[in-house]
Every structure is written in structure tokens, then in C-alpha cells.
Amino acid sequence: MSYTAYEVKDFIGTLTINRPEALNALNGELIGELFKTLKEIASTDLRCLVITGKGEKSFVAGADIEEMLSLAPSEALEYSRTGNELMNVIADFPSPVIAAVNGYALGGGLELALACDIRMAAENAVFGFPEVSLGILPGYGGIKRIVNLIGAGKAKELLFTARRVKAEEALSLGIVNSVHPPAELMSDVLITAAQIAGNAPRAVRNTKKAANNVAGLAAPHFTESEGALFKECFGTMDQRNAMCAFLEKRKPVAFTGI
């Protein structure tokens, strides 16, 4: 079974993350498939790419917690590099990328949406960075991207509190471009994609490159020091406590800082 589905029509590609049984959480195999597809389609005549999640409940509910729990600290650095490269491939994708956020966009899922150029959300979409509640930090370049997008003060509040934000608040914060009734999300996204696809392809691609440079959004977003901070959190009691609690569907015991 494939964790991704891809179709293209009228120069617009739609890439669907297809792991609804785990709310489209990103595991290693899924990340590998996304890499492969993005690499294949980057050299085609695509004019706009849409990324969405399968099902009505979730865009991407973050990195796979079960997979992260089993990572040794030494493996965590490599893990962080791979995920980062994927986000950079999306951010630097030659044509514009729209995230059609059809539900939960948490942790790595929000980071993925932030790597896209435009975010259009369903009314039921929910955003947040739960990482600190799991004993880790966001590491797919999302910290830099959210600070760039909404400013350090608002970004830090979301990062430090781990609170979830509904679509309307995400709109007012500037995280998303627009909010749509769930049943209309994809058709509205395709209207925007068609507007982009109707413009001169070379001009659009070069405009994206120029905009990324101006906004300081071009890769790299992830530094070795960020990787070291992520690695440091791995193997702590707090991280194991929080991730085990999630998988066992209970609250973690009080954090100790150890």
C-alpha cells in the first residue's frame, strides 16, 4: 500500500498524503515516498502543486510519535536531517505549492504546511506545535518559518504553550491565507491553483525564487545547532514519559526537566 497518491490535470498536481488510519502522521516510509514523488515531478511542466491529507479529519497530525519514541539520541540527528531536507524540497519546489489544510496540522504537519507557499484551510482545521508537550522541539525548519510568517512574539507563544489554534484564529494570526467550508476547500484551492497556472510559468517560478530570497525563506532553515538541541531532548525522561503517555492514551506524569 502506498502512503501517497498523485494526480495531475491542466498543469496542476495534487499530492495526497494517504495514511488516514494514523491521521496522516509522517513516518519514515511516507517521508521517503514524498521525497521520491517530489523529485520526479519537479522536472515536469507542472505550474502549481497542491498538497493535502487523505480523509476529512487530518492534514498531517505530525511526525509519527511511535517511530520517534524508538529513536536513540544518535539516530535523532539523522532523523531530523531527513525531515528537514523534505521540507526544503517543498519550499524550494520550482512551482508554487498550496497546502490544502483539511484538518489537523500539528507539529511536523504544521511545519509541512509552513514549507508550502500558500495555506488554505478548511473551517475544521486545527493548528499547533505540540512538541514541547512531548519533550522535544520542532525540527523541520518550522521555527524559522513561523517566526518569519507571524513574528517572533506570536510564534513563541504558540511554540512555548503548545496550544491548539482553530482555523479562524490561524487566519487572524496570519498562519493561513483563507478559510473555507470543508466541502468547498478543494474546489476553492483548485480555483487559486488555476489562477496561478494561467500565468506565464517561467515568470511565476522566478517570482517564487525572488520572493523566497526577499523573505529569507530559502533553505537552509535547519542548522547543526538546532539538530544538537533536538538530539539533546531525545532520551530524556520527559520525552519518553510524554510519548509513551500519548501512545497509551493517557496524560503524562508531571515533567521534571530530566
* Binding positions for ligand DAK, rule: CB under 6 A: 22-23, 25, 61-66, 80, 83-84, 104, 106-108, 130-131, 134, 136, 138-140, 230
What is the nearest approach in angstroms of ligand DAK to the Cβ of residue 209?
25
Closer to ligand DAK by Cβ: residue 169 or 188: 169
Closer to ligand DAK by Cβ: residue 47 or 54: 54
Compute the distance between CA of residue 30 and CA of residue 119 in angstroms, rounded to an integer.
21
Burial of 49 (0-12, 13-18, 19+ CB in 10 A): buried
Compute the distance between CA of residue 48 and CA of residue 39 in angstroms, rounded to an integer.
15
- Which amino acid, 91? A
Compute the distance between CA of residue 4 and CA of residue 69 in angstroms, rounded to an integer.
24
Closer to ligand DAK by Cβ: residue 13 or 227: 227
Place of cell 489544510: 101
What is the nearest approach in angstroms of ligand DAK to the Cβ of residue 224?
11
* Catalytic annotation, residues: 111, 131
Q: How far is CA 153 from CA 36, 82, 159, 173, 180, in A?
A: 36, 29, 10, 11, 27
Angle at which helix 73-91 crosses helix 28-42, to 10 degrees, equals 30
Cα torsion angle, 38, 51, 4, 234, sign:
positive
Residue with smallest beta-carbon separation from ligand DAK: 139
Compute the distance between CA of residue 197 and CA of residue 122 in angstroms, rounded to an integer.
22
What is the nearest approach in angstroms of ligand DAK to the Cβ of residue 62?
3
What is the nearest approach in angstroms of ligand DAK to the Cβ of residue 256?
20
Q: Minimal CA–CA distance to 104: which of 53, 171, 29, 175?
A: 53
What is the nearest approach in angstroms of ligand DAK to the Cβ of residue 38?
18
Q: How far is CA 212 from CA 121, 123, 126, 219, in A?
A: 22, 28, 26, 9
Closer to ligand DAK by Cβ: residue 87 or 100: 87
Closer to ligand DAK by Cβ: residue 13 or 103: 103
